[in-house]
Chain A
Amino acid sequence: MGKKVALTGNEAAAHAMRQINPDVIAAFPITPSTPIPQAVAQFIADGEMDTELVTVESEHSAMSACIGAAAAGARVMTATSANGYALMWEMLYIASGMRLPIVMAVAARALSAPLNIHGDHSDIMGGRDTGWIQLISENSQEAYDNLIQAIKIAENKDVMTPALAAFDGFNISHAIEIWEMEDDAAVKEFIGDYEPLFPLLNTDEPITHGAWAPPDWYFEHKMSQLKGLLNAKDVVEKVGKEFGEAFGREYGLYEAYKLDDADFVIVAAGSVCGTTKDVVDSLRDNGIKAGLLKIRLFRPFPFKEIADALQSAKAIAILDRVSPAGAQGGPLFSEIRSALYDTPTRAPIINYTYGLGGRDTQPKHINSVYETLKKIVETGKVEKQFDCLNLRGAWG
C-alpha cells in the first residue's frame, strides 16, 4: 500500500527516480529542477538507490551522456529546466532520432531574456517538435505518476522514444502538497526490468549507433521515427489504465472536468488546471455550465480525441503559458483550433497568454475568462481573439 506524504513536486520526481532506480542519471543543476539531482545524490549517498549519477559540466553533456548510456543499454533518466533544456535542444533531437527511451523530468520555467527563474512553459513548448513524448502534470501527484508511467511508455517496443514529464516550476516544483507515494516494490513491479534492443555494449554483435544518412535515407528514418512517436498515443492510454489498476489513479490522454454538457470551456495544461477546476465548481454551483479540458499528452498531440471532447462547447478559451512569438496564437491554441477544423463545431475560440515568468494566475482571472466566454455566446461577437491574463495594462 502507498502512503500519504507532504512533499514538493521536485521531491515527488526524485522519489519516483529513487523507486525506478535507473542505471544512470546524468544531470546538471538548474533552478527550479536542482532539488531533483540533489535529492538523488542524497539517496545514493544513503544507499537508497544504486544509480550511477554523472554530475556533468553542462546540460548539453547531460543529454549527451544520457544518449551514450542509453545506447550502451542502460535505463537512463535526467532532469532539467529552461535554459538547461534549451542547451540540450540539439541533443533532444539526437536522443529521439536514435530511438533511445530516455526519461526526463522537467520543472518547466521561463527562458531568458529577461532572466527569470520562475514557472511557465517556454522551455517545453520550445522543444515540442524535438520528437519527444511530452506529458504535462497538474500537481505533485501527477508529476510522480507521470514520471513512472513515462518509463513504461518510452520503453515500449512499438514506441522506443524518449519521454519527458513536465510540471510547473515553483507552482509545483517547490510547493508542498499531500500526495500518495506507492510502495517501492509496487513501482518496481509496475515498470518491470528493462531489456535494451540493440545495446552498444553487446560487443559480440557490434552495432553502429548514430550513423549519418544521406538524402536517400534520412527521410525514411525520420518517418519511421514518427511512427514510434505516434504509437505512443495508444501506449499512453494503455499504461494509464494499467496504472489505474495498479494504484487506483487512472490516466487518459487528457482529463475532462465537467466537460460533457459544458457550454463554456477552458483548455489548459499544468498547475493552472487546479485553479480552473475550483472556478468551474463555483460556476456550476451557480448553474453556469463551465468545463475544463486539461491537456495531459501534448506530444504526440491527440487531436482527434480532444476535438471530439470539445463538441458540446459553445465557446472555448485556450490558455497558453508561453508567448505566441508571432504566431496567430500560443502553441496549444494552434493545435486545438487546427484539430477542430475537421469537426462540425464552429464554436468561437479565443486565446490567452498567462503566467509568464511566474506571474500569478488567480481564480478571479480564470473567472474573467469564463465571463468573456459567456459574453461571446450571448452577443455572438468576439472582441479579442488574443489577450493576456493579469498583465499590467491592457494588451493590444
Chain B
Amino acid sequence: MALLNDLAKKKEGLVSGHRLCPGCTHSVIARQVFAAAETDKYDIVIAAATGCFEVSTGLYPYTSWNVPWIHTAFENAASTIAGVETAYRALKKKGKINKDIRFIAFASDGGTYDIGLQALSGAIERGHQFLYICNDNNAYQNTGNQRSSATPFGGTTTTSPNGKVKFGKEQPRKDIVSVLEGHHMEYIAQASPSNWRDLMNKVKKALDVNGPTYINVIEPCTTGWGFPPNKAIEIAQLAVDTCVWPLYEVIKGKVVINYKPQKKLPVVEYLKPQRRFAHLFKKGNEYLIEEFQKQVDAHWEWLLKREECGISYFED
C-alpha cells in the first residue's frame, strides 16, 4: 500500500463542485476507491444507478467526473455496465481498443438490494468483469428517506415511521452479502470509509479479479440518519466497533474477518447519536434495543464460526 502522501497526489476521478450534502460520505468513498485503483496501469469507466450520488455529480451542463461515466436508470447499473464491458471485449477483440480498462458500478441500497437486485444477479451470473460498489445508506435517501430492505430493524424512515402502534422498521436488514454468495463470485467484501486502508485493499483486490466482484460499503447519511455533518466517519466507525457493520471478505467462498474490535461496543453506542433510532430510547422500548443487539450478535457469531471452519464451495 502506498504512502498517504503518494495517494494524495493520485488522479481524482471525482472532482470538487458536486452537490452532495455537507458531510455525505459518497464522495469520501469514491475518492478512496480512486486512490486504491491502479490508474497508472488501467483506465476506469464508471456506471451509476439513479440516486443521491448520481444526481449530485451528473447535473447537466456540469459534471463532477473526470473519467468516462454513464447513468441510465435506477435499477440497472449492473446491466448497463455489463453492456459497456461487453462492448469493451467486442471492440478489443476486433483491435479497435488496445487499452486496459476496468469497470466500476456505483449504486446505493435501493438500486442494489431492491429494484436493482435482478439486474445485479444476472450480470454477476454471466461473469462480466466489473466491480459493483453499493454505497449502503440504509434507505432511499434520494427521494427523501423511505424504507428499503437495507433499513435496519427499528430504524425510522418516512415510510416506516415511529407511531402510536408501530416502532419503525419491523424486519431485520436484508443480508445482501449472503444473497450474493449464492452467485459463486470470487470476491465479495464489506467495508467502511472509516477504515480507509481496509476499503482500499478491498478495492485493489476486487479490481484484480477476472470476473464480477462486489463491495458493500456503509454510507452514513447525515440527513436520513440524523447526525451532524461532521460526524459521518465517527458513525461509520461506531457501526464497525459495535459489529453492526462487520468488515469482512468472502474470498472464493471463505469468510475472512478483517477487523475484530478488541472491545466490542454495545449497539446503543451506535444507535444513540442517530435521530432515526431516538424512539428506541423511550421508556418501554428497551426490548427493541435488546432485539437489535440480539440480531447483531447472532450475525457476528455466525461470521466468526464461518471464518473458523473455513469451508468453501470453490475448489482450491
Known: A56-B79, A67-B80, A211-B59. A206 touches B93 (CB 8 A): no
Interface string of A23-64 (1 = CB under 8 A from B): 110100000000000000000000000111011111011001
Q: Is B32 an interface residue (CB 8 A)?
A: no
Q: Tell me which residues from 27 to 74 in chain B have a Cβ below 8 Å from any Cβ of chain A.
A: 43-45, 47, 54-55, 58-61, 63, 65-73
Write out the residue numbers on chain A whose beta carbons fall within 8 Å of the beta carbon of B79: 56, 60-61, 64-65, 68
Known: A64-B73, A91-B73, A203-B45. A212 touches B58 (CB 8 A): yes
Mind listing 28 A-B residue pairs with CB under 8 Å? A23-B87, A23-B90, A52-B90, A54-B83, A57-B119, A57-B125, A58-B122, A60-B119, A61-B118, A61-B123, A65-B80, A68-B86, A72-B91, A74-B86, A201-B87, A201-B88, A201-B91, A203-B99, A206-B66, A206-B67, A209-B70, A209-B71, A210-B71, A211-B59, A211-B71, A212-B58, A212-B59, A214-B59
Q: Is B94 an interface residue (CB 8 A)?
A: yes
Write out the residue numbers on chain A whose beta carbons fall within 8 Å of the beta carbon of B82: 54, 56, 61, 64-65, 68
Is B87 a contact of A68 with CB atoms below 8 Å? yes
A91: min CB distance to chain B, Å: 7
Select from chain B the residue with minimum beta-carbon distance to A50.
B93
Is B43 a contact of A68 with CB atoms below 8 Å? no
Measured CA separation A98–B83 after assembly (Å): 15
Write out the residue numbers on chain A whose beta carbons fall within 8 Å of the beta carbon of B93: 50, 52
Residues of A within 8 A of B (CB): 23-24, 26, 50-52, 54-58, 60-61, 64-74, 76, 90-91, 94, 98, 200-203, 206-214, 217, 221
A65: min CB distance to chain B, Å: 3
Q: Is B304 an interface residue (CB 8 A)?
A: no
**Among A51, A52, A69, A208, contact of B63 (Cβ-Cβ < 8 Å):** A208
Measured CA separation A73–B99 after assembly (Å): 14
Q: Is B75 an interface residue (CB 8 A)?
A: yes
Q: Is B223 an interface residue (CB 8 A)?
A: no
- Contacts A91-B76, A201-B101, A203-B45 given; 4 further ones with Cβ under 8 A? A201-B88, A206-B66, A214-B59, A214-B60
Select from chain A the residue with minimum beta-carbon distance to B45.
A200
Is B66 a contact of A23 with CB atoms below 8 Å? no
Known: A64-B119, A201-B45. A211 touches B72 (CB 8 A): no
Select from chain A the residue with minimum beta-carbon distance to B100.
A203
Write out the residue numbers on chain B whose beta carbons fall within 8 Å of the beta carbon of A203: 43-45, 67-68, 99, 101
Is B72 a contact of A91 with CB atoms below 8 Å? yes
Is B126 a contact of A54 with CB atoms below 8 Å? yes
Q: Is B257 an interface residue (CB 8 A)?
A: no
**Among A52, A91, A217, contact of B86 (Cβ-Cβ < 8 Å):** A52
**Among A58, A200, A208, contact of B118 (Cβ-Cβ < 8 Å):** A58
Q: Is B84 an interface residue (CB 8 A)?
A: yes
B83: min CB distance to chain A, Å: 3
Q: Is B81 an interface residue (CB 8 A)?
A: yes
Is B86 a contact of A212 with CB atoms below 8 Å? no
Write out the residue numbers on chain A whose beta carbons fall within 8 Å of the beta carbon of B123: 61
Residues of B within 8 A of A (CB): 43-45, 47, 54-55, 58-61, 63, 65-73, 75-76, 78-91, 93-94, 96-97, 99, 101, 118-119, 121-123, 125-126
Is B87 a contact of A24 with CB atoms below 8 Å? yes
A197: min CB distance to chain B, Å: 14
**Among A68, A211, A221, contact of B58 (Cβ-Cβ < 8 Å):** A211
Decide if the interface of chain A is mainly helix, strand, loop or mixed: mixed
Known: A64-B73, A201-B45. A71 touches B119 (CB 8 A): no
**Among B54, B58, B88, B94, contact of A72 (Cβ-Cβ < 8 Å):** B88
Is A68 a contact of B84 with CB atoms below 8 Å? yes
- 7 shortest A-B CB distances, which residue pairs? A68-B83, A57-B122, A65-B83, A72-B87, A61-B79, A74-B87, A64-B79
A240: min CB distance to chain B, Å: 29
Known: A60-B76, A61-B122, A68-B80. A207 touches B68 (CB 8 A): yes
Known: A26-B83, A68-B81. A74 touches B90 (CB 8 A): yes
Write out the residue numbers on chain B whose beta carbons fall within 8 Å of the beta carbon of A212: 54-55, 58-60, 71
A304: min CB distance to chain B, Å: 34
Measured CA separation A316–B122 after assembly (Å): 50
B85: min CB distance to chain A, Å: 8
Write out the residue numbers on chain B whose beta carbons fall within 8 Å of the beta carbon of A51: 90
Write out the residue numbers on chain A whose beta carbons fall within 8 Å of the beta carbon of B43: 203
Write out the residue numbers on chain B whose beta carbons fall within 8 Å of the beta carbon of A208: 58, 63, 65, 68-70
Select from chain B the residue with minimum beta-carbon distance to A200.
B68
Select from chain A the residue with minimum beta-carbon distance to B75.
A60
B123: min CB distance to chain A, Å: 8
Write out the residue numbers on chain B whose beta carbons fall within 8 Å of the beta carbon of A58: 118-119, 122
Measured CA separation A98–B118 after assembly (Å): 24
Write out the residue numbers on chain A whose beta carbons fall within 8 Å of the beta carbon of B86: 24, 26, 52, 54, 65, 68-69, 74
Select from chain B the residue with minimum beta-carbon distance to A52.
B90
Most buried by B among A69, A70, A98, A213: A69
Write out the residue numbers on chain B whose beta carbons fall within 8 Å of the beta carbon of A67: 72, 80, 83
Measured CA separation A57–B76 after assembly (Å): 12
Measured CA separation A57–B122 after assembly (Å): 5
